[in-house]
Amino acid sequence: MDLAVNPVAGFGREAIVVLEFVATMAFALSGVIGALRKRMDIVGICACGFLAAFGGGTLRDVLLDRRPFFWVEHQTVLLGVLAISVAGATFVSRRRLERGQRWLQAPDAIGLGLFCATGTHLSYLMDQPPIVAVMMGVITGTFGGVLRDLVCNEVPELFSDHRPYALCAAAGALIYVIAAGLGAEAWVAMAACAVATIGLRALALRFDVRLPPVGRA
């Protein structure tokens, strides 16, 4: 792909770092809340926050053969995740965790949308086919949550609650690919992806939209 004529290539590296930083902090918070609900110790809380924050982006970078990993290149982000983990373990009261599931949904939806946008964008810039770019967006946005739930000894919410999650990310990534293919500016394509993903996830939660289970009873 000729970056000189590709409008989405003009999105600055610094802007990508900022978006990934915000998404990382959002997913780190969701990991910390999940760990606190399971009454983990400080090591478990830090591990859960780390996996939720970096799992999706790291898998994306492995599949796309991108080096160094985001958290290796930007170690301040790693320190930020550890700070959120320690702060959560120190200041979040047990009573507030009674509403932990509600707390978990907001940062999780934000992280899903932003990571989906950056994952799709980075894949698109590497001249991947549209279907691969969509899949990279979905993986970036969802895999951290899968790791969070596995470490918390739960069936990943992605597979178990039937409310659209990966489908929301796929829809947002598809909007990015369509917008980029039509020549939209990078920030427009990424904003459309993130807003669509977050909005669809919020609607699914608000109206309790559920996918029907497959298989006979």
The DSSP result for 77-123, as a single string, is HHHHHHHHHHHHHHH--TTGGGGHHHHHHHHHHHHHHHHHHHHHHHH
| Rg of the chain over all Cα atoms, to the nearest angstrom | 17
Tell me whether residue 213 is exposed, middle or buried, using C-beta atoms within 10 angstroms of its C-beta: 0 to 12, 13 to 18, 19 or more. Answer: exposed
What's the pLDDT at 162? Answer: 83
Q: Which residues, at least 6 apart from 133, have a Cβ–Cβ distance to it below 8 Å?
A: 120, 123, 124, 173, 176, 177
Whether pTM exceeds 0.85: yes
CB 209 within 8 A of CB 164: yes
The dihedral built from the CA positions of residue 133, 169, 110 and 32, taken in this order, carries a sign that is negative
What's the pLDDT at 136? Answer: 97
What's the pLDDT at 99? Answer: 57
Q: Which residues, at least 6 apart from 29, have a Cβ–Cβ distance to it below 8 Å?
A: 49, 84, 88, 107
What's the pLDDT at 4? Answer: 36
Q: Which residues of the chain have pLDDT under 50?
A: 1-8
What's the pLDDT at 2? Answer: 37
Single-letter residue type at 125: L
Residue 4 Ramachandran class (φ > 0 left, ψ -120 to 50 alpha, else beta): alpha
Quick one: tokens of 170?
A: 């796929």
